[in-house]
Amino acid sequence: MISLLDPDNPEEHFPPVENAEQEPDGLLAVGGDLSPTRLLNAYRHGIFPWYSSEQPILWWAPDPRTVLFPESIKISRSLAKTLRNRNYQFTFDTAFSEVINACAMPQPGREETWITEEMKQAYIQLHQLGFAHSAEIRENNRLVGGLYGIAIGRVFFGESMFSLERDASKIALVHLAHSLADKEFGLIDCQVYTSHLISLGAEEIERRHFCDLLQRFCNQPGFIGSWTEGIDES
């Protein structure tokens, strides 16, 4: 049974993820709010919000879960060629608002966005608090790709990515994975299956295993604050 969350009580507990519906896969709860307290609590327990503008806030915990272990990132021959031949520059946290706005724009095959104005403001607030981060790709000082997500402990919860030039979002993910591997992050949460992510080394694991990994890695020392100058432990 889907739980109804109280919008006036951001500290209330989420129901166990095992209660999530099988159809639609992973729907766990409805309502609540997008306060930092509730969002961080959700991610720690393997839950994320995903809804459109005409819907209430919907909270999901699908099974299986798509993840990428940072050290397992795959670089195809064509991607390696792009890395060699394009003059792309990689940065962290220099254009968070621009990245989330770009991710919200319609893209081929996706005419509508789930990144509502309410969602944008919630994640910008998390960025200001040092939990949400963006990875940017520029070419000739023009922002051409990137991604954003949440970092808790040594887990990065990826939210969305965009690309205006060839392979720009893939290259953002490659640089992110390498940076996180260097800092001994254990996991990048990719949420749901896409062939794009699988081609880069992502895999599906059981939700139970995913939650066990969250218990292990979210409780390790974190990296709260701006990553502009690199990922520094808080």
Q: Which residues contact 145 (CB under 8 A, 6 or more apart)?
A: 136, 137, 161, 162, 163, 164, 165, 167, 168, 169, 171, 172
Q: What is the mean pLDDT of the chain?
A: 95
Rounded average pLDDT over 86-111: 88
Measured in whole angstroms, the distance separating CA 223 from the mean position of its chain's CA atoms is 16
52-87 pLDDT, tens digit each: 988 999 999 999 999 999 999 999 999 999 989 999
Helices 117-128, 96-104: inter-axial angle, 10-degree rounding: 160
Tens of pLDDT, residues 153-189: 999 999 999 999 999 999 999 999 999 999 999 999 9
Whole-structure pTM value: 0.95
pLDDT of residue 79: 94
pLDDT score, position 53: 86
Res 106: pLDDT: 74
Write down all domains in the chain, each with its CATH number in brackets.
Answer: 3-63 (3.30.70.3550), 66-217 (3.40.630.70)
The pairing of beta strand 3-5 with beta strand 27-31: parallel
**Residue 107: pLDDT over 80:** no
Helix (H, G, I), strand (E, B) or coil at 40: helix
Residue 145 pLDDT > 80: yes
Q: Percentage of the chain with pLDDT > 70?
A: 96
Q: Residue 232: is its pLDDT beyond 80?
A: no
Residue 180 exposed, middle or buried by CB count within 10 Å (0-12, 13-18, 19+): buried
Q: Rounded to whole angstroms, how far apart are CA atoms 151 and 132? A: 6
| Cis peptide bond upstream of 108, omega within 30 | no
